[in-house]
Amino acid sequence: MAEPYVLPDGTQVAALEQFRECDACPEMIVLPKGAFEMGAPPEQSILLTYMRERRGEDVPGLKHEGPVHRVEIDRAVAMGRNEVTYDEFLACIAAGWCSHRPDPAVIMLGGDYMATGRHPVINVSAEDGMDYAAWLNGLVGAPVYRLPTEAEWEYAARGGTDRRFAEGDVLRHDQVRFYEEGVQVTYQQHPVPVDELDAENAWGLRHMSGNVQERTMSCYAFRHLGLPTSSAYLDHARSTPDCRFVTKGGAYNSGPDSARPASRGHARRPEVRTRYAGFRLVREVE
């Protein structure tokens, strides 16, 4: 069994244990070290199956989920149990570290919506996420909080399984907030609070499929880099900061294909904000 990790206050945490190390800090879950197959073959895509069966067409863009390659998670991190909420982000604004105040109103498909404090914060950029992480680092006295790399995010979403989605092989509306053609209710109009739905994956992480797209610190490339370790992906992300970042997980207004862990969302400049994207953080624990 792996040795527990020791936080600055002396608290010991082991793999899959939850902790919150300060009053303003988000709840974190320690990810076990291990390895996984990053990416997916085109045949895993629901969209590809639809296009081939219904239209006799291919989807060339899905090649950007490959090549499938083994990645060793050699650097221990904890992942936020939830997407960062409005309450958590507004605390950073009140402290003077975060300068952007996101608009909690989303008007889409004719529906008016106002977020509560437990909704995932949206209309925030990757830079806003970095500011929030910097604030937490000041509170705990160490540069340990940051956006995840794409490899860390996909590993966490898979939760040690090879299932198609974070929560299972089939998306259900009682688990995942996503758009499904023909379901004319509120599912496709706005996200839900982070505590709603049966949204945990095998490791206890919530809403890794759907709800809001999540920012990473990894630069988008048309195909995976094929790096062998999570440390290598982190080093690459830190050495190429001026790029368009990968988003992961799908959102309330995207279809099932985008909710797969292997799916790679819109590449956005670090300063871009959208009404369907937020973020969650990782914390380095060694």
At 151, the amino acid letter reads: A
Going by pLDDT thresholds of 50, 70 and 90, the confidence category of residue 188 is low
- CA atoms of 218 and 148, how far apart (whole Å): 8
Cα 250 to Cα 96, 258, 262: the distances in Å are 31, 5, 11
- Cα 17 from chain centroid (whole Å): 19
Which whole-number Å values give the CA distances from 91 to 24, 94, 245, in the listed order? 7, 5, 25
Residue 99 CA from chain centroid, whole number: 22
Domain count, the chain: 1
276 neighbors 258 (Cβ within 8 angstroms): no
Higher pLDDT, 240 or 46: 240
- Tell me which residue range forms the domain holding 12: 5-284
Q: Which pLDDT tens digit goes with each residue over 149-180?
A: 999 999 999 999 999 899 999 888 889 988 87
Mean pLDDT of 75-82: 98
Please check the confidence at residue 52 and state whether its pLDDT lies above 70: no
- Residue whose entry in the numeric block shows the structure tokens 């149990």: 81
DSSP E strand boundaries for the chain = 5-6, 12-13, 18-19, 28-30, 34-38, 69-73, 77-80, 105-108, 111-114, 145-146, 213-219, 245-248, 277-278, 282-284
Alpha-carbon distance of 286 to 270, in angstroms, equals 27
Banded pLDDT at 106 (limits 50, 70, 90): low
Counting runs of H as helices and runs of E as strands, what totals does the chain give?
A: 5, 14
CATH of the domain at 86: 3.90.1580.10
Note the pLDDT tens digit of each residue in 243-265: 999 999 999 988 888 999 999 98
Q: What is the pLDDT of residues 123-153, one digit of tens each?
A: 999 999 999 999 999 999 999 999 999 999 9
